[in-house]
Amino acid sequence: MRVAETVERTKDHIARCVRISNLLAFWTMTTPEVELKTIFARHLYWAVHSAERLRARLAELAVDVDPRTVPLQTASDDLMACESALTTPEKIRALYGVALMNLKTSMADHANRTDALADEPTIRVLNDLTASAASAAEEADTAFRSVREIFPDMSTSSSSNEGHLPARIPVRPARDRRFSETASNPNLTDTVKLLHVFYTDLELSTIEACSRMIVEFPAMPWQFVVDMARQCWDEARHADAFRTRLLQLGGSLGTYAISYALWDMADGENVDVSLAVQQRVGEWIGVDGAIWQAQQLRFGGDEVTSELFDFVALDEITHVAFGNKWLRSVAGSEAQIKLVHDLALHKRSACGKSVDGPLTFPYNDWACERGGFTEGERDELRARFLKYGSQFRELDEAQERERVAASR
Ligand SMILES: [Fe+2]
Ligand SMILES: [Fe+2]
């Protein structure tokens, strides 16, 4: 296959991957069944990461493209069928049964027709993507089968009280019938409550928030999409870990109230405010919260859950860094960054999130530095913690261990 032909075929794969990633971004928001929400978030990352690998190969072939604007070279009936699918079974069939299979077949055919002596790198990329597309289809099939057992009537009725949502940004993201804002089970342990809140209100909600940013701000650079997609994957892994652990500890989904606060806080805002609310402030508080929870759980003897929080906290630092990186690139001035930072704090306190009252966990300067806060910004964050009487000073570990043990 000549260079010009492989370039055109690669562009078509890129355009398809990007179109699939956009579709999955909508579906993380509009699909109610939470087990599928995380599958879609994982595959959103797969689609963006695949487009990125193909883009990099094109650059090696001296062709630079912006994946967000590459036109499809071939007919797209299969993708249009995905975009108009309303019910969950229709979505699964249209994407994993048809569109993804067409993409996989096209990439395999491209690889087969490529001369290994002349263009081995293209074959390697295509073979990797073909294999991972097959794995994605298998993952979706397994998750769909388990969800169908929970909602046997899902072919005829939605598992959400709001009904089927089209592939547009919804007023609020879909949640399936197991969840409500008023659920309360008095018999839950503190750890199960904690895992439930992290699962629904932080991890799932952040998948939806990142997905919304991908589709709501099409003028943002491609690398922004790459970062948001990576965050979707991280949050999907966190969500699945917390869900699995909460089930292991005897909890069940829907036994604790859910909140839409994260969604509502950035609703209708510009990209700078969204980044400040979600990544710069929200994830920063999430880092300190996760570090604190890991320590508390370890002192309480729950090493397994503690280790999950250790790893989650480190991922969240990267998400803060994404927020700071993109906020600096779009804000235009330090004054604007300060403005949106304060607005984000205000929005969080208006939604009942803990920034105005005394924070119950310590400030971690090293994490803020890795998260991309400047020295001046860190001084201000530290002052805020001190002002509200937080436990900024180093904790006495032995004393803390005894206190946690005594409270259980
Ligand atoms: Fe997370
Ligand atoms: Fe995060």
Reported as a single tens digit per residue, the pLDDT across 155-168 is 888 898 888 898 99
CATH 1.20.1260 is held by the domain 190-406: yes
Using a pLDDT cut of 90, give the percent of the chain over it. 74
For the residues 253-276, what does the mean pLDDT come to? 93
Q: 304 is written with which tokens?
A: 């397994």
Q: Is 319 exposed, middle or buried (0-12, 13-18, 19+ CB in 10 A)?
A: buried
Instruction: Find the 295 Cα to ligand 2 centroid distance in Å.
Output: 19
Q: Which residue stretches of 113-260 are H helix?
A: 116-150, 190-197, 205-216, 222-248
SS3 (DSSP) at 184 = strand
Q: Which residue has the higher pLDDT, 23 or 402?
A: 23
CATH number of 3-150: 1.20.1260.10
* Ligand 2 centre distance from Cα of residue 241 (Å): 14
φ, ψ of residue 347 in degrees (nearest 5)? -65, -40
| Cβ atoms of 72 and 106 closer than 8 Å | no
CATH 1.20.1260.10 domain range(s) in the chain: 3-150
Smallest-distance ligand from the CA of 282: 2
User: Under DSSP, is residue 253 helix (H, G, I), strand (E, B) or coil?
Assistant: coil
142-158 confidence digits (pLDDT tens) = 999 999 999 999 888 88
Give the highest mean pLDDT range of 9-23, 336-350, 386-400. 9-23
Is residue 39 classed exposed, middle or buried when 0-12, 13-18 and 19+ CB atoms within 10 A define those classes? Answer: buried
pLDDT of residue 400: 59
| String of DSSP letters for 125-153 | HHHHHHHHHHHHHHHHHHHHHHHHHH-TT
Residue 408 has pLDDT above 60, yes or no: no
- pLDDT for the residue numbered 286: 84
Please state, in angstroms and as integers, the Cα–Cα distance from residue 304 to each residue in 249, 307, 310, 315, following that order: 11, 5, 10, 17
Token couple for 73? 């070279």
Coil, strand or helix at 256: strand
346, 351, 352, 354: CA torsion to nearest 10: -50
In the reported structure, the alpha carbon of residue 166 is separated from the centroid of ligand 1 by a whole-number distance in angstroms of 27
Span from the CA of 118 to the centroid of ligand 1 (angstroms): 43
Query: What does the pLDDT read at residue 184?
Result: 80
Compute the radius of gyration of the chain from its Cα atoms: 22
Q: Which ligand is nearest to the CA of 235?
A: 1
Q: Which residues surround ligand 2, an ion (CB under 5 A)?
A: 283, 316, 319
Please state the φ and ψ torsions of residue 363, each to the nearest 5 degrees.
-80, 140
CA of 311 to the centre of ligand 1 (A): 10
